[in-house]
Amino acid sequence: MTDAHEITGGVLATGEKKSVGGWVFPVLLLVVLGVAAWFGKREPASKVVTEKGTLTVAAWTPSPRAEGETVGLTIDFGNGASKRFEALPWREGMTLEQLMAEAAEFRPGIAFTQKGSGKLGFLTSLEGLENQGGDGRNWQYRVNGKHGKMSFCLQPLEVGDQVLWGFTFAE
CA distance 3 to 49: 61
Of residues 168, 152, 44, 167, the one with CA closest to residue 103: 152
Written as tens digits, the pLDDT of the chain (171 aa) is: 445 555 445 444 555 555 555 777 777 777 777 666 666 554 455 566 667 777 676 777 888 888 899 999 999 999 999 999 999 999 999 999 999 999 999 999 999 999 999 999 999 999 999 999 999 999 999 999 999 999 999 999 999 999 999 999 987
| Structure confidence at residue 40 (pLDDT) | 56
| Structure confidence at residue 15 (pLDDT) | 53
CA distance 43 to 50: 22
| Structure confidence at residue 120 (pLDDT) | 96
Q: 70-169, what's its fold?
A: Ferric Hydroxamate Uptake Protein; Chain A, domain 1 (2.170.130)
- pTM value is 0.66
Of residues 145, 142, 141, the one with CA closest to residue 126: 141
| Structure confidence at residue 61 (pLDDT) | 86
Taking the domains of the chain in order of start, what are their residue ranges? 5-42, 70-169
| Structure confidence at residue 44 (pLDDT) | 54
CA distance 118 to 155: 10
Task: Mention every residue, 6+ apart, whose C-beta is less than 8 A from residue 13.
Answer: 5, 6, 7
